[in-house]
Structure 1
Amino acid sequence: MFQLIITPETALADEPLCIRATGLNPFQLVTLKASLTDEKGKLFQSRAFYKADEAGNIDLEQAAALGGDYMGIHPMGLFWSLKPVNPFRRLLKQDVINSPFYIQLDLYDSLLLEDSSKVQPKASRMIERWFSGPGLQRIPIREGRVRGAFFLPPGEGPFPGIIDLFGGIGGLIEFRASLLASRGFGVLALAYFAYEDLPSSLEEIDLEYFEEAANMLMHHPKIHKTGIGVISLCKGAEIGLAMAVHLEQVTATICINGTNAIHETQCKYRDLVIKPIPHQKEYTQIHVSGAINFRHIKGDPQADVNQQSILRVEKAQGHILFIVGEKDECLNSKVYAEQAMEQLRRNGKSNGTLLSYPGAGHLIEPPYSPLCFASWNPFFSRPLLWGGDSGYHAVAQEHSWKEIQKFFRCHLTPSSSKL
């Protein structure tokens, strides 16, 4: 009898699974299919073709996919290769506390080259992928000007404190913060526009708002007082780097596919005003998919005559980790990170590290998340191109997630309590 065996069937979304099929005929060709419906009712699917061994078994840790959405040995390939049935959808978990993503895995006894809706699977399993661990608290934040959600692990603490910033989509995005908190960090998912009573669009970067959030986090009784971390993506990484430069509370900063200068909207901190590099809209390109390619419109900060927009990374007192995808089609992020690293070197600083991933796109997220090649943004009439090749992107996400946690544990944990 055909069987699908998934271990564990309930797990955090960043945990790998063991997937096996048994009871097949020797050397039988089969299809494994994954299906997920997000909280807005949009369907994501993936499939791969496998061949049973002489005993009629398939173990995804050892068996190579022969085709479908990926090829080769990829134990979690059915997850990171999920694609939206309707294009330009990004898989984003909204409610990270009360419900998981449910993913159905189906086993078919033949190669399904076309629509499988009329074919019944021979075995099925429903698995749960959670974004919060047992005992995790989500605390809505409306303190002073600060808006967001604070995730606190169970236990007495104190915990390393982190601010989590996303980019130009605005609003409040919580899935990365809740997963990090499930790994033992106190994480503030921070909104800074298009959320509650915050400005509907980003007209100016006011670093005093982010300083207020940093102070609030550091003063929490269960957070280490020695400094906080920032994890940031895209426009958020631009802000994260500015925080590293200007805010003494920030001692460890991760910038994922960001820039090394202020672009489009000015940055203000007390009496300091950093004028932005304007977008070069004449360089906007349309990808064959119909998505906008923004990679070339940001411009090169080094070409700015006065270079007043460049962030003075050499003034950062803490450590900075730059994470870049070499197939980022939104920003020329590798060049920006290399410029920042060179700026540190020229000034005799060694507090920067660069992780560069071939084939990875813009939206580098926790492991086993599917690649989002392009998606809609509420502020544009066309979808935006993010780029990336799914297999290489998956490798980048799995590796960088481990490095992210290692970096924060190293630089946010007081030395007296380190193992």
Structure 2
Amino acid sequence: MGAADPRGQLPRPRPGAAAALGAPAGGQPSAAGIGGGLRTAAGRTQRRQRGPQPWCAGVAPPRSAHAAGSGRDGGGPGAGVGLGAGLRVARRRRFVASAVDSSSCARPQGERLGAWGIDTPGCLPMHIRQAARLLAGTALLSSLWAHAQTLEVTPGATVLAGDPVHLQVAGATPGARLTLRAERVMNGWSGPGRFQAEAVFVADAQGRIDPDVQAPASGSYQGVDARGLFWSMHPVPPAAPQALASGEVVLELLDGERRLARQSVTLLPKAADVTVSEPAAFPGARFALPGGKTRHPALIVLGGSEGGSAAARRLAPLLASHGFAVLGLPYYSPAGWGPQGPTPPELPALPASFVDIELSRLEQARDWLARQPDVDASRIGLYGVSKGAEFALAAASRMPWVKAVAAIVPSDVVWEGWGPAAPGADQRSSFAWRGKALPWVPYEGFMREFANATHGRPVVLRRPMEAGRAAHPERAAAARIEVEKIAAPVLLVGGGDDQMWDSAGMARAIAARRAAAGLATTALIYPEAGHGLADHGWNPTTTYKDSFFSLGGRPDVDARAQADAWPRLLAFLRESLH
């Protein structure tokens, strides 16, 4: 903090403006002290109001010992130091003072009070010197108060996950290097953990820091990125004890390790009017329904090869918050792996192997949705991720009732299945239609690639897939998904550096075949992105590299691709289904 002007008064809020110290998001005042900042309810720092010029209150030397207690002030100038309410020493005010001589002064040559430039004459009564010190201290308090840094989060203390969050610092000393730190508790690859990011910014000429338009000087990310502090979080050692709510992100403004301001924002998993239930007809499923009395268009959400209910739990409530009745539908639940070794499947009623998964399961889901009074069954779309995108495209090519398909990191063919229950080689397809296995592309060198894990190297599934496709072109042709039979509009999202499979190349192939058939298709290809594109750009992407499988991409590229694709996805679904 730079040198402050000792002449300033404590700021006076404008009439009708509710001033608060360190007001958190939401506008409620708190007793945060000087560091919290002086703000009005509208969120603006009050301008410091300049008061009268300070002067040194003095006493003329007594004309005699007899007259010492009755003299005037010597006729000196008399504008006092401003104290908010206007404390002054009158120009001609009389006061009674004791007779003094130089031997009674603590500093016969005068006293300079700190760095504030207030000089006292060399011979003052003690109570006058104490009053001068008090006034100087008040000037210091006023200056600190007027220059306090504030951290503002908009639109408020809560926001739907995926919607923009804006941070802004005001009141900093121009040129000051201050740190913004973000922290949250969330699930990583190895379970719940503490995630943190920070970036050092240089305050501009107006004392502002705004990550929407400013790049950090150093920190967890580079370049101008409003989401940088969110996606660049990385796991850090746990701190004692955690008190953060689910989705809560704590934001701090720091000068070194000294905290200047603190705010928090909670990224909500769903809108307040969305209700979530668990249909008994489908193990692990989630049915999320928006509020309102209208009948809503519907989506069926299909996760990827991770299996279980994770995709249903995360995506169904979030997509429902944008106006869709969403059925998150698990269809596969493999055994897991924990610190002590293998763990049982989350959903034992579902297949534990990715073999001959029945496409007709979606017909059952459609029939169930048609029985729901708040669902318009004439407007049902499919949303699939990875193997779920393969599922969605293969099903939609056989089910004319599908009105839209969103395929995130998709495949254009059906691939070989896997798992402990896989039967003989002639039946190991990933999917089946009404009891008959679909043609599939075999892998080449699958187990050889998995051997990399024993040497501490990531498994790159793209290699055995591309090798199998190159070695068996006739089987690849037979396994091709007939996307030209999907009358509904299709959205494709692919990553050029996807190391699970070539989602960008396969998305282009799908788009080309549909374009030749004159069908509505949107392909979003991100050349440097990886496999992790089924998110909105506000969650950490730094842990993708910690997966057992190589996903490709980079944290910054993946986050920016997600942030670009997410609103386009929502717009596509609204246009196709509303």
TM over 0.5: yes
Among 248, 268, 284, the alignment partner of 1:130 is 268
Would you identify which runs of 4 or more consecutive aligned residues in structure 1 move more than 3 Å?
A: 285-290, 300-303
Higher strand share: 1
Match in the other structure for 2:224: 73
Residues 186, 246 of structure 2: 8 Å contact kept: no
Give me the whole-angstrom Cα distance separating, in 2, the residues matched to 1:208 and 1:225. Answer: 17
Among 333, 341, 353, the alignment partner of 2:503 is 333
Give me the whole-angstrom Cα distance separating, in 2, the residues matched to 1:374 and 1:244. Answer: 33
Counterpart of 1:36, as a letter, is R
Residues 146, 212 of structure 1: 8 Å contact kept: no
Match in the other structure for 1:238: 390
Q: For residue 6 of structure 1, report the CA deviation from its aligned partner.
A: 1.1
**Does 1:6 find its partner at 2:179?**
no
Among 242, 250, 255, the alignment partner of 2:402 is 250
Match in the other structure for 2:532: 363
Match in the other structure for 2:301: 164
Match in the other structure for 2:442: 278
> What SS class does the counterpart of residue 304 from structure 2 fall into?
coil
In structure 2, do the counterparts of structure 1 residues 165 and 33 end up closer, same or farther at CA, with 3 Å as the change threshold? same
**Does 1:177 find its partner at 2:325?**
no
Match in the other structure for 2:171: 23
Residues 366, 377 of structure 2: 8 Å contact kept: no
Q: Report sequence identity in percent.
A: 27
1:246-272 Cα deviation digits (max 9, x unpaired): 122212001111211111122211264
Structure 1: which 5+ runs fail to align? Answer: 87-98, 111-118, 377-382, 414-419
Residues 172, 208 of structure 2: 8 Å contact kept: yes
Residues 274, 308 of structure 1: 8 Å contact kept: no
Alignment of 1:214-363 (within 5 A): 214-265=366-417, 266=429, 267-270=431-434, 272-281=436-445, 284=449, 286=452, 290-299=457-466, 301=469, 303-306=472-475, 307-346=477-516, 348-363=517-532
> What SS class does the counterpart of residue 180 from structure 1 fall into?
helix
Give me the whole-angstrom Cα distance separating, in 1, the residues matched to 2:558 and 2:576. Answer: 26
Q: For residue 147 of structure 1, report the CA deviation from its aligned partner.
A: 4.5
In structure 2, do the counterparts of structure 1 residues 406 and 171 end up closer, same or farther at CA, with 3 Å as the change threshold? same
Counterpart of 1:269, as a letter, is W
Match in the other structure for 1:52: 203
> What SS class does the counterpart of residue 361 from structure 2 fall into?
helix
Match in the other structure for 2:71: none
Residues 146, 213 of structure 1: 8 Å contact kept: no
In structure 2, do the counterparts of structure 1 residues 73 and 350 end up closer, same or farther at CA, with 3 Å as the change threshold? same
Give me the whole-angstrom Cα distance separating, in 2, the residues matched to 1:121 and 1:243. Answer: 55
In structure 2, do the counterparts of structure 1 residues 62 and 342 end up closer, same or farther at CA, with 3 Å as the change threshold? closer
**Does 1:101 find its partner at 2:268?**
no
**Does 1:388 find its partner at 2:553?**
yes
In structure 2, do the counterparts of structure 1 residues 176 and 375 end up closer, same or farther at CA, with 3 Å as the change threshold? farther
> What SS class does the counterpart of residue 32 from structure 1 fall into?
strand
Q: For residue 206 of structure 1, report the CA deviation from its aligned partner.
A: 0.6
Q: For residue 126 of structure 1, report the CA deviation from its aligned partner.
A: 2.3
Residues 412, 509 of structure 2: 8 Å contact kept: yes
Match in the other structure for 2:139: none
Counterpart of 1:22, as a letter, is A
1:311-350 Cα deviation digits (max 9, x unpaired): 111111212111111221211111111222222244x232
Give me the whole-angstrom Cα distance separating, in 2, the residues matched to 1:199 and 1:227. Answer: 29
Between 337-346 and 100-109, report the one with greater CA deviation: 337-346
Residues 327, 360 of structure 1: 8 Å contact kept: yes
Which of 1 and 2 has higher RCO (CA within 8 Å, sep 6+)? 1
Q: For residue 146 of structure 1, report the CA deviation from its aligned partner.
A: 5.8
Match in the other structure for 1:90: none
Give me the whole-angstrom Cα distance separating, in 2, the residues matched to 1:275 and 1:146. Answer: 28
> What SS class does the counterpart of residue 398 from structure 1 fall into?
helix
Between 397-406 and 384-393, report the one with greater CA deviation: 384-393
Give me the whole-angstrom Cα distance separating, in 1, the residues matched to 2:445 and 2:410. Answer: 19
Residues 484, 519 of structure 2: 8 Å contact kept: no
**Does 1:403 find its partner at 2:568?**
yes
TM-score by length of 2: 0.63
In structure 2, do the counterparts of structure 1 residues 310 and 146 end up closer, same or farther at CA, with 3 Å as the change threshold? farther
Give me the whole-angstrom Cα distance separating, in 2, the residues matched to 1:359 and 1:133. Answer: 33
Match in the other structure for 1:200: 352
In structure 2, do the counterparts of structure 1 residues 354 and 149 end up closer, same or farther at CA, with 3 Å as the change threshold? same
Give me the whole-angstrom Cα distance separating, in 2, the residues matched to 1:102 and 1:409. Answer: 29
Give me the whole-angstrom Cα distance separating, in 1, the residues matched to 2:445 and 2:560. Answer: 33
Q: For residue 301 of structure 1, report the CA deviation from its aligned partner.
A: 4.8
How many corresponding residue pairs?
385
Match in the other structure for 2:279: 141
TM-score by length of 1: 0.86
Q: For residue 170 of structure 1, report the CA deviation from its aligned partner.
A: 0.7
1:253-303 Cα deviation digits (max 9, x unpaired): 011112111111222112643132122235738599832221222236575
Q: For residue 397 of structure 1, report the CA deviation from its aligned partner.
A: 1.3
Between 56-65 and 151-160, report the one with greater CA deviation: 56-65
Residues 230, 240 of structure 1: 8 Å contact kept: yes
Match in the other structure for 1:62: 213
In structure 2, do the counterparts of structure 1 residues 301 and 409 end up closer, same or farther at CA, with 3 Å as the change threshold? farther
> What SS class does the counterpart of residue 410 from structure 2 fall into?
coil
Give me the whole-angstrom Cα distance separating, in 2, the residues matched to 1:154 and 1:256. Answer: 27
Instruction: Give the RMSD, CA atoms, in angstroms.
Output: 2.2
Residues 356, 437 of structure 2: 8 Å contact kept: no
Give me the whole-angstrom Cα distance separating, in 1, the residues matched to 2:473 and 2:363. Answer: 28
In structure 2, do the counterparts of structure 1 residues 289 and 129 end up closer, same or farther at CA, with 3 Å as the change threshold? farther
> What SS class does the counterpart of residue 308 from structure 1 fall into?
helix
In structure 2, do the counterparts of structure 1 residues 84 and 279 end up closer, same or farther at CA, with 3 Å as the change threshold? farther
Residues 165, 191 of structure 1: 8 Å contact kept: yes
Give me the whole-angstrom Cα distance separating, in 1, the residues matched to 2:488 and 2:283. Answer: 23
Give me the whole-angstrom Cα distance separating, in 1, the residues matched to 2:246 and 2:323. Answer: 20
**Bigger-Rg structure (1/2):** 2
Counterpart of 1:105, as a letter, is L
Residues 274, 288 of structure 2: 8 Å contact kept: yes
Higher helix share: 2
Residues 152, 187 of structure 1: 8 Å contact kept: yes
In structure 2, do the counterparts of structure 1 residues 147 and 212 end up closer, same or farther at CA, with 3 Å as the change threshold? farther
> What SS class does the counterpart of residue 369 from structure 1 fall into?
coil
Counterpart of 2:363, as a letter, is E
Among 537, 541, 544, the alignment partner of 1:373 is 544
> What SS class does the counterpart of residue 402 from structure 1 fall into?
helix
